[in-house]
Amino acid sequence: MADAPAAEYQIALLELAFDAASAMPLNPHIKNRSKAQAQVVETAFELDQPKRVLAYAEQIADWRRALGIARYAEQAAKRGLTPEAQSQMDRAQEIADHPIEENPQDWHRERILMAIARARHAADSRAGVPPAALSESEFDARASELETSILTSNLDQARAALEKCVVLYGDSFGDQSRRERLATKVTASIYKLPLTIQVESLCQLGEVAVEHGDAAQGREFAKLARERYDSASWTPQYGLPLVACIAKLRHGAGEQERARKELDEGLAWFEQERAKLPDVFRAGALRPVAEALVAMGDAAAAAAMYARAVEEGSANPNSRPRAEDLVATCCSMAIQRVEPNTALWARLRAIRSALADPW
């Protein structure tokens, strides 16, 4: 399979990110290393780079390897390479059935099966097989099952169920009754989850609505998300990414002036509180702001914000958080198509070169 055309800087960002992720020692950082590597795999998938998806995935030492393999299978299926897609789906299924690590979690398997299902859906779509239509009773049963999973005490299982809800919401968008019932179930059930997840989930539903041309519904989800956000007190490390998420949705839903105003207020708040924030959290607060600025069409401000995030992410004396921030920023810039200038390239590479003990 050939990789899709991509800008040279996007590929360079991918390579730098995966190199930085792989620099983390397996012992004792296998979870952090694998999570960062999987982030690069997902970025390569977004950029339609199947060769890199598989090459990177093969180097992941935990269950996330299967997620990457399933993503490669999805890309193969979209290209009509059915035998290759099936072969890789079988490999991912094997890892789901026979975990490659000790103490596997049920939600690991569920995430793998979700990725395999996406690949199979891609294969069916390529073959012209229409998706199975759910009857009313089947839809209600599926929605109720997801609602029950959201209400579970297992946070990872609840997140997985919310991902499925967002997909089902998009698939059902043409049926007003179904999408409204599903939205009602989600908004009612997420109240027991942490507020961060509540706001993120509402923004995701709003983005789906905007993608389907329903700006009014997008604005309604933005309103709900802001109400949830305003119901608590935040520090910028947790609050600013949510402000950026809501602002991005507002902008897409037609509330451009309000979106920029709220984003600027959030940035002013960050500057006021910055000195109180642990350095390990600062870059993570700023990256979503850069992404929102890209969505708003302010390329210069976005580039400056990414440069600021790079510096903030390099401050911690330990290499592990510096590596994680470097990976996240490189992946974000690649997806958002923000090309580093000469000075920023030099800084990114210098940070990578400095990754060493202590981790």
Residues for the chain: how many in total? 359
pLDDT at position 153, please? 67
Sequence-separated (6 or more) residues with CB below 8 Å from residue 301: 293
Q: How far is CA 23 from CA 11, 29, 30, in A?
A: 18, 10, 11
Whether this prediction's pTM lies above 0.85 is answered by yes
pLDDT at position 225, please? 97
**DSSP at 23:** H
**Phi, psi for 346 (deg, rounded to 5):** -60, -40
pLDDT at position 103, please? 84
User: Count of CB atoms within 10 A of residue 300's CB?
Assistant: 8
The residue type at 199: V
DSSP-assigned letters across all residues of 197-226:
HHHHHHHHHHHHHHHTT-HHHHHHHHHHHH
Q: CA 301 to CA 293: how far, in whole Å?
A: 7
What residues of the chain score a pLDDT lower than 70? 131-132, 153
Q: CA 328 to CA 288: how far, in whole Å?
A: 11
Q: CA 102 to CA 74: how far, in whole Å?
A: 27
Q: CA 40 to CA 58: how far, in whole Å?
A: 12
How many whole angstroms from its chain centre is CA 107? Answer: 17
Burial bucket for residue 104 (CB in 10 Å: 0-12, 13-18, 19+): middle
Q: Domain extents for the chain?
A: 14-32+278-359, 135-193, 195-276
pLDDT at position 353, please? 98
Q: CA 145 to CA 166: how far, in whole Å?
A: 14
**DSSP at 302:** H
